[in-house]
Amino acid sequence: MNRILPTPLPGVYHARRKVHDDTRGSFARIADSGWLENLHAQGHIAQVNHSKTTLRGTVRGIHMQRPPHCGWKTVTCLSGRIWDVAVDLRSGSGTFLRWHAVELSAMESLHIPAGCAHAFQVLEGPAEILYLMSESYQPESELRVHPLDTTLDVKWPLPVTDLSDADSKAPSLTGEFAGVPT
Protein backbone atom coordinates (compact mmCIF):
# COMPACT_ATOMS: atom_id res chain seq x y z
CA MET A 1 0.00 0.00 0.00
CA ASN A 2 1.24 3.48 -0.87
CA ARG A 3 1.18 6.18 1.81
CA ILE A 4 0.34 9.78 0.94
CA LEU A 5 1.27 12.27 3.63
CA PRO A 6 0.12 15.91 3.65
CA THR A 7 2.63 18.71 4.29
CA PRO A 8 2.20 22.24 5.68
CA LEU A 9 1.80 23.59 2.12
CA PRO A 10 -1.71 22.94 0.72
CA GLY A 11 -1.59 20.53 -2.21
CA VAL A 12 1.99 19.40 -1.56
CA TYR A 13 2.15 15.71 -0.63
CA HIS A 14 4.96 13.37 0.35
CA ALA A 15 4.34 9.91 -1.08
CA ARG A 16 5.98 6.65 -0.04
CA ARG A 17 5.48 3.66 -2.28
CA LYS A 18 5.28 0.03 -1.32
CA VAL A 19 8.21 -1.78 -2.92
CA HIS A 20 7.82 -5.51 -3.49
CA ASP A 21 11.13 -7.34 -3.11
CA ASP A 22 11.91 -10.93 -3.98
CA THR A 23 14.90 -12.98 -5.15
CA ARG A 24 14.75 -11.38 -8.63
CA GLY A 25 14.92 -7.79 -7.34
CA SER A 26 12.09 -5.37 -6.73
CA PHE A 27 8.94 -3.90 -8.24
CA ALA A 28 7.00 -0.72 -7.46
CA ARG A 29 4.16 1.08 -9.18
CA ILE A 30 5.16 4.67 -10.00
CA ALA A 31 1.67 6.01 -10.74
CA ASP A 32 -1.83 5.12 -11.78
CA SER A 33 -5.02 7.14 -12.19
CA GLY A 34 -6.29 6.36 -8.68
CA TRP A 35 -2.98 7.34 -7.11
CA LEU A 36 -2.94 10.63 -9.03
CA GLU A 37 -6.55 11.32 -7.97
CA ASN A 38 -5.52 10.84 -4.33
CA LEU A 39 -2.89 13.54 -4.90
CA HIS A 40 -5.60 15.81 -6.35
CA ALA A 41 -3.66 15.83 -9.61
CA GLN A 42 -6.14 17.04 -12.21
CA GLY A 43 -5.59 16.32 -15.88
CA HIS A 44 -3.18 13.90 -17.46
CA ILE A 45 0.56 13.30 -17.63
CA ALA A 46 1.83 15.45 -20.51
CA GLN A 47 5.56 14.92 -20.05
CA VAL A 48 7.91 12.54 -18.23
CA ASN A 49 11.50 13.63 -17.50
CA HIS A 50 14.50 11.88 -16.00
CA SER A 51 17.56 13.53 -14.47
CA LYS A 52 20.76 12.14 -13.03
CA THR A 53 22.91 14.29 -10.77
CA THR A 54 26.17 12.91 -9.47
CA LEU A 55 27.75 15.51 -7.21
CA ARG A 56 26.74 15.76 -3.56
CA GLY A 57 25.64 19.32 -2.71
CA THR A 58 24.42 20.11 -6.24
CA VAL A 59 21.18 22.11 -6.37
CA ARG A 60 18.76 22.04 -9.30
CA GLY A 61 16.05 24.69 -9.21
CA ILE A 62 14.06 26.75 -8.12
CA HIS A 63 11.84 26.31 -11.23
CA MET A 64 8.24 26.31 -12.41
CA GLN A 65 6.16 27.46 -15.39
CA ARG A 66 3.90 30.50 -15.43
CA PRO A 67 0.30 30.28 -16.64
CA PRO A 68 -1.04 29.19 -19.02
CA HIS A 69 1.51 26.34 -18.83
CA CYS A 70 1.56 26.13 -15.03
CA GLY A 71 0.88 22.58 -13.91
CA TRP A 72 1.51 19.99 -11.23
CA LYS A 73 4.65 17.91 -10.98
CA THR A 74 5.33 14.67 -9.12
CA VAL A 75 9.03 14.18 -8.45
CA THR A 76 10.17 10.64 -7.64
CA CYS A 77 13.63 9.71 -6.41
CA LEU A 78 14.72 6.49 -8.15
CA SER A 79 18.20 6.23 -6.59
CA GLY A 80 20.42 8.19 -4.27
CA ARG A 81 18.98 10.67 -1.76
CA ILE A 82 17.78 14.23 -2.27
CA TRP A 83 16.42 17.08 -0.20
CA ASP A 84 13.35 18.03 -2.23
CA VAL A 85 11.83 21.49 -1.90
CA ALA A 86 8.42 22.92 -2.88
CA VAL A 87 8.02 26.71 -2.79
CA ASP A 88 4.54 28.27 -2.72
CA LEU A 89 4.42 31.06 -5.30
CA ARG A 90 0.59 31.08 -5.62
CA SER A 91 -0.84 34.59 -5.39
CA GLY A 92 -3.38 34.83 -2.60
CA SER A 93 -2.19 31.62 -0.92
CA GLY A 94 -2.08 31.53 2.87
CA THR A 95 1.41 30.01 2.57
CA PHE A 96 2.69 32.40 -0.14
CA LEU A 97 6.54 32.49 -0.23
CA ARG A 98 6.84 29.60 2.25
CA TRP A 99 8.73 26.45 1.39
CA HIS A 100 8.65 22.88 2.61
CA ALA A 101 11.36 20.25 2.15
CA VAL A 102 11.38 16.47 2.47
CA GLU A 103 14.29 14.07 2.23
CA LEU A 104 13.52 11.55 -0.50
CA SER A 105 15.21 8.23 -1.12
CA ALA A 106 14.37 5.46 -3.57
CA MET A 107 10.69 5.27 -4.52
CA GLU A 108 9.60 8.30 -2.52
CA SER A 109 7.94 11.29 -4.17
CA LEU A 110 6.95 14.85 -3.59
CA HIS A 111 3.82 16.04 -5.38
CA ILE A 112 3.93 19.74 -6.19
CA PRO A 113 0.73 21.48 -7.33
CA ALA A 114 0.39 24.19 -9.95
CA GLY A 115 1.73 27.49 -8.65
CA CYS A 116 4.48 25.95 -6.54
CA ALA A 117 8.09 25.92 -7.69
CA HIS A 118 10.51 23.03 -7.22
CA ALA A 119 14.17 22.49 -6.38
CA PHE A 120 16.33 19.74 -4.92
CA GLN A 121 19.78 19.21 -3.47
CA VAL A 122 21.70 15.94 -3.83
CA LEU A 123 22.49 14.43 -0.43
CA GLU A 124 23.85 11.16 -1.82
CA GLY A 125 24.64 10.64 -5.47
CA PRO A 126 24.23 9.66 -8.05
CA ALA A 127 20.62 10.75 -7.64
CA GLU A 128 18.20 9.74 -10.36
CA ILE A 129 14.89 11.58 -10.47
CA LEU A 130 11.73 10.90 -12.48
CA TYR A 131 9.31 13.77 -13.09
CA LEU A 132 5.66 13.28 -14.05
CA MET A 133 4.29 16.60 -15.31
CA SER A 134 0.82 17.75 -16.28
CA GLU A 135 2.18 20.35 -18.73
CA SER A 136 4.88 20.11 -21.37
CA TYR A 137 7.86 22.39 -20.96
CA GLN A 138 7.46 25.78 -22.66
CA PRO A 139 10.65 27.88 -22.43
CA GLU A 140 8.78 31.18 -22.72
CA SER A 141 6.74 30.32 -19.58
CA GLU A 142 9.70 29.36 -17.40
CA LEU A 143 10.07 31.05 -14.03
CA ARG A 144 13.40 30.65 -12.25
CA VAL A 145 14.31 31.97 -8.82
CA HIS A 146 17.89 31.97 -7.57
CA PRO A 147 18.36 29.01 -5.18
CA LEU A 148 20.05 31.30 -2.63
CA ASP A 149 17.26 33.93 -2.76
CA THR A 150 17.20 35.75 0.59
CA THR A 151 13.42 36.35 0.51
CA LEU A 152 12.73 32.60 0.43
CA ASP A 153 15.77 31.74 2.57
CA VAL A 154 15.70 28.02 1.76
CA LYS A 155 17.86 26.22 4.34
CA TRP A 156 19.92 23.87 2.20
CA PRO A 157 21.29 21.05 4.40
CA LEU A 158 24.69 21.06 2.63
CA PRO A 159 26.81 23.84 1.20
CA VAL A 160 25.65 24.50 -2.39
CA THR A 161 28.55 23.13 -4.43
CA ASP A 162 27.23 23.21 -7.98
CA LEU A 163 24.58 25.21 -9.88
CA SER A 164 23.83 25.32 -13.58
CA ASP A 165 24.72 28.52 -15.38
CA ALA A 166 21.01 29.33 -15.74
CA ASP A 167 20.31 28.76 -12.02
CA SER A 168 23.31 30.83 -10.93
CA LYS A 169 22.05 33.72 -13.12
CA ALA A 170 18.40 33.38 -12.04
CA PRO A 171 16.99 36.51 -10.40
CA SER A 172 16.01 36.83 -6.78
CA LEU A 173 12.45 37.79 -5.89
CA THR A 174 11.70 41.47 -5.47
CA GLY A 175 9.08 43.28 -3.41
CA GLU A 176 6.98 43.63 -6.57
CA PHE A 177 6.59 39.86 -6.96
CA ALA A 178 2.90 39.19 -6.35
CA GLY A 179 2.91 35.50 -7.15
CA VAL A 180 1.41 33.51 -9.97
CA PRO A 181 -2.32 33.08 -10.53
CA THR A 182 -3.57 29.51 -10.44
Q: Which residues pair with 61 in a beta bridge?
A: 119
| Given the residues 13, 14, 63, 69, the one annotated as active site | 63
| Given the residues 13, 40, 118, 131, the one annotated as active site | 131
For residue 60, the tally of other CB atoms under 10 A from its CB is: 20
What is the C-alpha separation between 85 and 135, in angstroms, rounded?
19
Query: Which DSSP letter does residue 98 get?
Result: -
User: Exposure of 166 by Cβ count < 10 A (0-12 exposed, 13-18 middle, 19+ buried)?
Assistant: exposed
100 catalytic residue (yes or no): no
Element (H, E) at 35: helix 33-38
**Chain center to CA of 137:** 15
What is the C-alpha separation between 96 and 94, in angstroms, rounded?
6
What is the C-alpha separation between 176 and 3, in angstroms, rounded?
39
What is the C-alpha separation between 124 and 113, in angstroms, rounded?
26
13 catalytic residue (yes or no): no
Residues with catalytic roles: 63, 131
